[in-house]
Chains A and B, each alone.
Chain A
Amino acid sequence: MYLVRRLLLLPPLLVVISLLAFLLVRTAPGGPFDRERKPASPDVERALRARYHLDEPLGQQYLRFLGGLVRGDFGASLKYRNHSVTDIIRQGLPVSLSLGLLAFGLALGVGIPAGVYGAMRKGEWSDYGVSVLTLLAVCIPGFVVGPVLVTVFAIRWQWLPVGLWESPMHAVLPTVSLGLYFAGKIARMMREGMLQTLRMDFIATARAKGLGETRVLMRHAFRLAVMPVVSYSGPLLADLLTGSFVIENLFQIPGLGVFMVNSSLNRDYPMVVGLVLLYAILLLGLNLIVDMLYAFLDPRVRYD
């Protein structure tokens, strides 16, 4: 029942979000044809505006957009002429998806074990070591990690390619540059969650039953301790899957992150609204999954 209600709530939410995004870019000053290579003559610009229906009243434009949306059509890009927004998303999304998933895998794969290890060794030198490393990861922005990795591994030692998106080898540096920050963040969250869970009574009970420490940690504490990470994973994954401007720009990867930034700079209205909707669908869907996982991980959580 709860799930049905949440699902029914999605379409109206998406409509509100699309309206907000539409109004945000549409009412901002500046237009999509301001940055043409040579300034268009008034006639040309008027013709362009008429072709993309920009001369209609705002309400009508929005309704036209909604009408297209029902048919699965986000409209035509104003900057990349002859390409529809759907085309661009269809081309860029697989790339961003795979890079995002790889980075997400790295973040979880490194972050969770590091966090559990730190919590197990709380107060020992190895815990301090791991904590400092994870904190460092959170303090170095991706646009520093990227160039440094490129200079060392691609230029100096020439082990890995400098850029582009072709073989699995090409994915290594972008994945690390993108995922390192989140690995640190997840490790810190995991350590904190573990320490808080280990203070609870049911852990004392489990230990009193004579269970081994590994079993207490993995079977009993872990499912509760991982919950902050799970709830952070929803927005994180939505962010990662829609691409990262910095990493895509640095490694010349044809993903969506570059479009996200450029289309809002260029006032490419249909493109912005399309990307916002894509992000919102991912975010809302993932948050729904996260809430379902909550009920699975913590038996006290009930949705009625």
Chain B
Amino acid sequence: MTNEARTRPMKHAVPRNRRGAAGHPASAHRSRGPACQAIRRFARNRGALVSALFLGVFIALILVWPWVGCQAPDAISDLQFVAPGSGHWFGTDVHGRDLFTRVNNGARISLLVGAVGAAVSLVIGVIWGAAAGYLGGRVDGAMMRIVDVLYALPSIIFVIVLITTLNAAVDGWVSRGLSARGGAILKFAGLFGGLGAVSWLTMARIVRGEVLSLRTRPFVQASRALGAGHIRVVFHHILPNVVGIVIVYLALTVPAVVLYESFLSYLGLGIQPPQASLGSLIAEGAAQINPIRIYWWMIAFPAGTLMVVLLALNFVGDGLRDALDPRADP
């Protein structure tokens, strides 16, 4: 609130003064904030803009569809392996379930996993990196050596042990009276946590590097000299300057986590049936491949959806990087 109150009169004053004094639009152009410039740069990138719009529509569709569509995702019927047609747009699978509904549900879960997994990695990575970079010295050394050691562990072993441990614990709780739904939710949360836990290392390194160089800048030292506490310095002066690079890396983490989850589902460790993610749907489709008959739709539609979603996410990530990169041309 105080911030807003302080800046509001300035906003009115600056353009008037500038125009009055200099009188050419170039100075007005320069007064635009970096955020505004970034949005303009992003909007000029057609691929990124189209991808962002597409993702928006896509997410709206998969959120709304469960209320619009007539088939339940788990409804089993006798119509096994029906080819795509007017009745079943994407065909049906081995249990006669409508593949369009399944893909829809799978896409929702894959995107949710990607978003939450990336968010977990964001929180851990930023806190760890900022703490190491800001505290510096021996604490920094110790914290970054821990990151080095975790880097040297194959992430797949780490994730498998983490997830199987949690699943075993949850099964134990369910047998001791926890509801099955609660158990499923806990396993879900474990998957998020596991995915986040293996993808925060690079984020921590990036943030730590930035914070390390920001810490010695004059404006931070001035703020310290004026009596600002460490917490205030970190949250008001350092972290706002890291936001750009963090957003860029975050945007590239989401597709990476979606891909990793699909790999885990392929191993049978991700989403548990009858729930499905795009990865587990692809795995189901790949299991049906044999020399005699290929049910192409069972692999083509989930894989196509995954590909399109990842493509759009990557385009948006690239666009954000170009828009927020301070080294880019204005």
- Listed in ascending order, the chain A residues whose CB lies under 8 Å from chain B are 13, 16-17, 20-21, 24-25, 28-30, 135-136, 138-141, 143-144, 147-148, 150-151, 155, 196, 199, 235, 239, 242, 245-246, 260-261, 264-265, 272, 275-276, 279-280, 283-284
Contact = CB atoms under 8 A, between A and B. Distances in A.
Q: How large is the interface on B (under 10, 10 to 19, 20 to 34, 35 or more residues)?
A: 35 or more
B157 A141 contact: no
A276 B153 contact: yes
Contact of A28 (B154, B164, B267, B299): B164
B327 interface: yes
Given A196-B327, A279-B154, A246 B160 contact: no
B234 interface: no
B168 A16 contact: no
A21 B153 contact: yes
B165 A29 contact: yes
Contact of B149 (A17, A150, A151): A17
A170 B285 CA distance: 24
Interface string B265-303: 011000000000001001100100101001000010001
Interface stretch (B114-122, B134-142, B239-247, B306-314): B306-314
A7 B132 CA distance: 25
Contacts, number: 105
B149 A136 contact: no
A19 to B, nearest CB: 10
B235 interface: no
Contact of A140 (B160, B161, B303): B303
Given A144-B303, A283-B152, A139 B160 contact: no
Nearest to B313: A139
A150 to B, nearest CB: 7
Contacts of B255: 139
Interface SS majority for chain B: helix
Given A147-B286, A261-B160, A16 B149 contact: yes
Contact of A280 (B153, B161, B307, B310): B153
A143 B283 CA distance: 8
Contact of B266 (A21, A143, A283): A143
24 contacts: A24-B158, A30-B168, A135-B315, A136-B307, A136-B311, A139-B311, A140-B303, A141-B263, A141-B266, A141-B306, A143-B262, A143-B282, A143-B283, A150-B289, A199-B327, A246-B266, A260-B154, A260-B156, A264-B160, A272-B157, A275-B157, A276-B157, A283-B151, A284-B152
Given A13-B149, A29-B165, A141-B263, A261 B156 contact: yes
Contacts of A272: 157
Among A13, A17, A28, A141, which residue has the most Cβ atoms of chain B within 10 A? A141
Interface string B137-176: 0000000000011011110111011001100110000000
Nearest to A128: B47
Interface string B243-269: 000000000000100010011001100
Nearest to B290: A155
Among B148, B169, B327, which residue has the most Cβ atoms of chain A within 10 A? B148
A141 B259 contact: yes
Given A30-B164, A272-B157, A144 B289 contact: no
Contacts of A135: 311, 314-315
A28 B167 CA distance: 11
